């Protein structure tokens, strides 16, 4: 290995935390593009998604993991938890996100999962929501007593400039080595996968609490022609009653989901997208291990 290569650092960083604490928002901010979907609905992220940030002397490979599930023991949640524990076993560094001024029982249950043989950086997110910043110091001091963190970093993942402080803090903990990905790669996921995730995000964002988290999206057609993707996707729900809610009056709801998903795809893929969506029912799929695998969650 040349001296130039020896000075380059590359490593995989697991981003873990309870559901809805800002993991995907942080990964997207660090990568500079939407590679992991974001919504206010818990359990949005279901896969381990790699986001890649490359600098002159380092490559950061962020594994955005599902929020660790402790409430429900469905086949889907069990698959998501396996993704988290596998990520923790295979990485060089762990980022554990907690919310400023809020340490919940769900956070407490993650503590025993943190590795003792790898550096763990605590990211205290959403500090912009704390009215009295003087209250932060006692909270940070209490967190420092819970675990031997390599670093404790307060920030707001929604403020890109704030999140941009993080790579310089993480870089010394990465091992020396050549980059794994090309300089312009931002994820290991395919365009087909990202398209399905964008549709699922729009379903969550635009249906609120009317549709529960048991929604899956499969890509039935993905055709690439010069300057154009033609995509056909099925949105799966687990109850017949959810289908008319998703479609909306005269199909207005699904049309809005399709329009906003298409716009996000065109921005991410940098080309025109023709998108068709269908809504189908597959009862009880989130509790069916066979269907979990069929929908790509194993």
Domain ranges of the chain: 3-173, 191-294
Q: Selecting from 3.30.559.30, 1.10.10.10, 3.40.50.300, 3.40.50.2300, what CATH number does the domain 3-173 have?
A: 3.40.50.300
Contact criterion met (CB below 8 Å) for 263 and 201: no
| Homologous superfamily assigned to 191-294 | K homology (KH) domain (3.30.300.20)
* Cα gap 71→237, rounded to integer Å: 21
Residues in the chain: 298
Q: What is the pLDDT along the chain (298 residues), one digit of tens a residue?
A: 344 445 899 998 988 888 888 888 899 899 888 777 654 444 444 446 678 999 999 999 998 776 444 444 544 445 445 555 565 667 899 999 999 999 999 899 888 888 889 999 999 999 999 999 899 999 999 999 999 999 999 999 999 889 999 999 999 999 999 999 899 888 887 888 889 888 988 888 887 666 656 778 889 999 998 899 999 999 988 888 888 888 888 889 899 999 999 999 999 889 999 999 999 888 765 555 555 555 554 4
Enumerate residues 6+ apart whose C-beta is below 8 A from 202.
257, 260, 261, 264
pLDDT (tens digit per residue) in 201-212:
888 888 766 665
Q: Which tokens is 142 given?
A: 């209490």
What pTM does this model have? 0.71
Same fold? 3-173, 191-294: no
Decide: 58 and 178 in contact? Cβ < 8 Å: no
- Pull the structure tokens for residue 155: 């920030």
* Amino acid 69: pLDDT: 40
CB atoms closer than 10 angstroms to residue 280? 11
What pLDDT is attached to residue 74? 47
Nearest to 275 by CA among 257, 295, 296, 252: 257
Quote the pLDDT of residue 72. Answer: 43
Q: Is 176 left (phi over 0), alpha (psi -120 to 50) or beta?
A: beta
Find how far residue 137's CA is from the centre of its chain: 28
Torsion angle defined by CA atoms of residues 101, 103, 106 and 108, in that order, rounded to the nearest 10 degrees: 160
């Amino acid at each position: 290995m040349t001296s130039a290569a020896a000075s380059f650092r590359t490593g995989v960083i697991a981003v873990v935390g309870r559901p809805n604490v800002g993991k995907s928002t942080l990964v997207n901010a660090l990568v500079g593009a939407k590679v992991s979907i974001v919504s206010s609905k818990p359990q949005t992220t279901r896969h381990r998604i790699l986001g890649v940030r490359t600098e002159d002397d380092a490559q950061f490979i962020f594994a955005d993991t599902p929020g660790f599930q402790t409430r429900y023991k469905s086949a889907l949640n069990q698959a998501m938890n396996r993704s988290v524990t596998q990520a923790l076993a295979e990485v060089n560094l762990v980022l554990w996100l907690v919310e400023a001024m809020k340490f919940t029982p769900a956070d407490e249950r993650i503590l025993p999962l943190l590795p003792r043989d790898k550096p763990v950086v605590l990211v205290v997110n959403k500090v912009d929501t704390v009215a009295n910043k003087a209250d932060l110091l006692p909270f940070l001091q209490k967190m420092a007593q819970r675990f031997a963190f390599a670093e404790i970093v307060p920030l707001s993942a929604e403020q890109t400039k704030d999140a941009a402080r993080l790579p310089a803090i993480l870089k010394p903990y990465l091992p020396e080595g050549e980059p794994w990905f090309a300089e312009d790669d931002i994820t290991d996921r395919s365009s087909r996968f990202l398209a399905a995730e964008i549709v699922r995000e729009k379903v969550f964002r635009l249906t609120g609490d009317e549709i529960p988290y048991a929604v899956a999206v499969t890509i039935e057609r993905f055709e690439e022609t010069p300057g154009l993707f033609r995509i056909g996707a099925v949105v799966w729900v687990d109850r017949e009653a959810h289908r008319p809610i998703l479609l909306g009056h005269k199909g207005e709801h699904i049309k809005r989901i399709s329009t906003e998903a298409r716009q996000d795809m065109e921005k991410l893929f940098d080309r025109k997208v023709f998108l068709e969506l269908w809504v189908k029912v597959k009862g009880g799929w989130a509790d069916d291990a066979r269907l979990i695998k069929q929908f790509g969650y194993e």
